[in-house]
Amino acid sequence: MLNAAGRLPEGIHRGSAKDLRLRFVDGAPHSTRRDTLLQAFELYAEQVWEILPEARLWVDGGFVTHKAWEPKDIDVVILVSHSDVVGVDQSRLFPLLTRTAENGIRIQPMGGLVDGFIADRNDPAVTRYWSDFWSTVTDESKEPVEGVRKGYVEVIAP
């Protein structure tokens, strides 16, 4: 359930793509844009799970809030065991991750609709970092809002 500010309570909230649609597309502000983002996420998730079937996807960003301004993209961190990545065809995985070109331009998966990262889910420091980062509330200019926290969604392969 979202609070009065349109955010999930702090912490991990497990759900499916269908749950994301029900909570963050249908009846949410800017539903047309959100539908586009969710469709990109669904295709993205399929690609991730083809390569890394045990991956968990932590979904965050403006997409998982009901805020006044339109979400630009859907933020995702792929949580996977380091051992699961060893031996994976990196040419398939690399396009699913956000990176910065030599000229400083960010290159995001799915035509910029997804902001994708990868992390070792067995490293407590790494999962703490992402949990803290994903719980941070930012304003429209991407500045952190002091003293305010929110939740994020974990999606696993169906």
Q: Are 137 and 144 in contact (CB under 8 A)?
A: yes
Residue type at 130?
W
What span, in angstroms and rounded, lies between the C-alpha atoms of 124 and 31? 35
Q: Which residues touch 51 (CB under 8 Å, ≥6 apart)? A: 88, 89, 92, 93, 96
Ranges of each domain in the chain = 11-156
The dotted CATH code for 11-156 is 3.30.460
pLDDT at 4: 79
Spatial CA neighbour of 56 closest among 40, 39, 78, 76: 78
Q: What is the pLDDT along the chain (158 residues), one digit of tens a residue?
A: 888 788 999 999 999 999 999 999 998 999 999 999 999 999 999 999 999 999 999 999 889 999 888 999 999 999 999 999 998 999 999 999 999 999 999 999 999 999 999 999 999 999 999 999 999 998 888 889 899 999 999 999 98
**Position of tokens 């991407």?**
142
What is residue 67's predicted lDDT score, i.e. its pLDDT?
85
- What is the pTM assigned to this prediction? 0.93
The per-residue pLDDT for 158 is 87
DSSP-based three-state secondary structure for 10: coil
